[in-house]
Amino acid sequence: MSTSTSRFLFSNGVVLHSSDTPPVTTFLEAHPGAYTTTRSHGNASYLLFWERHLKRLCQSIRILSNSNPQLLFGPRKFSHPFPSLPTNSLTWESSIRDMVHDSLSKVLEIALKERSNGEELSVTAIVTGNSEKLSENENFDEEQVSKFLDVHIHIGVYVPPVFGIGGKGELLAMVGREREVASAKHSDWVRKRKPLENLRPPSATELLLSNDGDHILEGSLSNFYVVCRKGFPGIWFS
C-alpha cells in the first residue's frame, strides 16, 4: 500500500492543498485558540468519538472566554470584552458546532478522495477568536458569539504513535509543571511545551507534568491514566 503525504487546510473559506499546508503543529503554534484532534477509523469511514471531541472543544472555548480570553484571541488588546458564555445554554454551542461541521464537510470530502486506500486521516479543528471583528461591535450577546470566532480544519495522514522500545513499554521522565488553564485544550500549550522537549532525557519516550514531583497530572503529548486490574496493573497512554 502506498502512503500519501497529503495535508489539507480549510481556513477563511479557502481549502489549501499539500504544498501550501503547514504541519499541524506549526499551524497550532501560529494561531491562538481552542482545538481538538481526532482520527478516522475503518478505512476512513468515520471519525472516532467525534461528538465527544466537539463537546470538549465547546467546553474549552467557554473556559477560555470566561477565564483567559487572551488564549482564545491572542495577546492583542481589544476595546470590548468577550461575553461570558453560560454553561447551561446551548445557543452559542449550537452555532459553533454548525460552523465546525460546515468547515469540516468542505475539506474532508477532498481529503477522502485524494488519500490512498487503507490510510486513516488525522483531523484537527481549531477555533480562534477574531479580535478585529470583536472590536467593531459594541452590542452583542451569546447568540452572536460565532460572528467573532474563526474555524480552521487541518487534515493529514494519521501516523500511529510508537510507544515503548522493544516491547519494554514507556520510558518516562517527569519534567514541567501544570499547564495554564489545564481544564481547556488550547494551542498556547503547543508552543510552551517545546522548551520541555529540550529537557527530555535521550531514552525518555514521554514527559510527565507534576507540580510537586509526587502527583502526576498528565503527559506532555498524551493522555495519562492508570488502570488497576487484579494481576495486571499498568500505566496507559492514548
Structural domain for 177, as ranges: 172-237
Q: What is the dihedral of CA 78, 83, 87, 92, to 10 degrees?
A: -100
Per the document, the length of the chain is 238
What is the rounded CA–CA span in Å between residue 55 and residue 61? Answer: 10
Per-residue pLDDT reduced to its tens digit, 23-44: 999 999 999 999 999 999 999 9
At residue 104, the pLDDT reads 96
Task: Tell me the whole-structure pTM to 2 decimals.
Answer: 0.84
Per the listing, cell 514531583 goes with 213
> Is residue 83 within 8 Å of 148, Cβ to Cβ?
no
What is the rounded CA–CA span in Å between residue 43 and residue 100? Answer: 22
Per-residue pLDDT reduced to its tens digit, 141-189: 666 777 788 999 999 999 776 655 555 667 788 888 889 999 999 999 9
What is the rounded CA–CA span in Å between residue 30 and residue 110? Answer: 24
Query: Would you say residue 21 has pLDDT above 50?
Result: yes
> Is residue 179 within 8 Å of 187, Cβ to Cβ?
no
Least confident of 57-66, 83-92, 117-126, 137-146: 137-146
In a shared domain, residues 142 and 178? no
In a shared domain, residues 22 and 55? yes
What is the rounded CA–CA span in Å between residue 226 and residue 8? Answer: 35
In a shared domain, residues 124 and 42? yes
In a shared domain, residues 52 and 111? yes
CATH code, 127? 3.30.470.10
In a shared domain, residues 151 and 190? no
Closest CA to 61 of 29, 30, 96: 96
At residue 2, the pLDDT reads 45
DSSP E strands: which ranges in the chain? Answer: 7-11, 14-16, 34-41, 46-47, 121-129, 149-157, 172-174, 206-209, 218-219, 224-227, 234-237
What is the rounded CA–CA span in Å between residue 56 and residue 100? Answer: 13
Per-residue pLDDT reduced to its tens digit, 187-237: 999 999 888 888 888 888 888 898 888 888 888 877 766 666 665 555 555
